[in-house]
Amino acid sequence: MIRFALLALALALALPAQAQLYKWVDSNGRVQYSDRPPGGGTKAEQVSNAHVSSIGSQSAAAGARSATDLEADFRKRQVDKAEADKKQQQASAEQKQKSESCEAARRNLAALQSGQRMMRYNDKGEPSFMDDAGRARETEQAQQQVQTWCK
pLDDT tens figures, 20-74: 777 878 888 888 888 778 877 777 787 765 555 545 445 545 555 678 888 888 9
Torsion of CA 145, 148, 149, 151, to 10 degrees: 140
In a domain, 24, yes or no: yes
Work out the burial of residue 15: count CB atoms within 10 Å of its CB; fewer than 13 is exposed, 13-18 middle, 19 or more buried: exposed
Residues spanned by the domain of 42: 17-47
In a domain, 133, yes or no: no
In a domain, 62, yes or no: no
In a domain, 41, yes or no: yes
CA distances from 49 to 26, 39, 119, 133 (A): 20, 21, 98, 100
In a domain, 105, yes or no: no
Domain count, the chain: 1
pTM, entire model: 0.45
Query: What are the tens digits of pLDDT across the range 120-139?
Result: 888 888 988 888 888 888 89
In a domain, 90, yes or no: no
